[in-house]
Structure 1
């Protein structure tokens, strides 16, 4: 049961985080182009890197709050169903995963959301309009779903090189946490690789925002 639920959990969480970040990303990038407020913002006495950092943090906050609410809701309803309603299979499941594991699931989502935020903001900056940004962001679902599907294939486990594969490693870690078989030392590789990738995406986003031909295409 833990393996089945753990395999589906990343699919639910990642899609919710991505969708939670999509709308603000499309609005504060391409949306500002349509409203004509981007030019006003750019001529203000504020460093461009600070502007892009503010936009990035806004999108990341929206995605992170989606993750936090989802994980907190799972923990709350698991407790209610196992204790308040005395459902045995839920109680057995909750006995395998502690509060620390729920916290780790949330913490692993934070750098993943940062990757989503940087990628979505880069797309939004490139797009000419809100609708164009949305059309570009839609296919991102595929790039999220494929690594998740890899994590549930037979024989794919959180060992060796899989601990360094982005998104797939977090999916595998969530499955191991739910199963109660997590090797916590693997979290070093998972957090390290995901943070590095998030930093690279954000660096590209800054580079993209500083190109006039991208902003005013």
Structure 2
């Protein structure tokens, strides 16, 4: 036997230790790699008061090319280019501050692009339900700082939905329909009654 070889009993112990270590690592691997996040998917469509689809699969190519109209008595007596974006807010209703407290937001409210009708987010999983709230945000003149959340006076949105988000799984919020109070020209929106712009861009 080579003098550098360990005794037989030592080799046997070493082999057993390796097997034990491998088994321990295998057992701990699922815990170390267990997902802690889930996925949220949302789809939407804009429709008019009669239920006809505007976007997608409607008369508009996207929601990037609306025109905002304001009444003559408004500070903005012009037609202004407007982009409509869907905003998704996710909060934990079990939070002490309820959903009125920014600290209860699971993630920052997300605005999706105006040239899509679907969105997806990766967020922390939860044992209970999160509350999902949508809004329509109008951005005027291509300026993100010149924007407003449309009220129900010219846009109807579905109410909040409570859903659980499980680790490694997809939570599908299904399709949201947003009803717009459009004119005869479906790309023109009268925002006078429903859009409170910042003073800097009104």
Fold match (TM-score > 0.5):
no
Q: Which has more helix, going by share of residues? A: 1
Which structure has the greater CA radius of gyration? 2
| TM-score interval for Structure 1 and Structure 2 normalised by the shorter chain | under 0.3
Q: Which has more strand, going by share of residues? A: 2
Query: Which TM-score applies when normalising by structure 1?
Result: 0.24
Query: Which TM-score applies when normalising by structure 2?
Result: 0.26
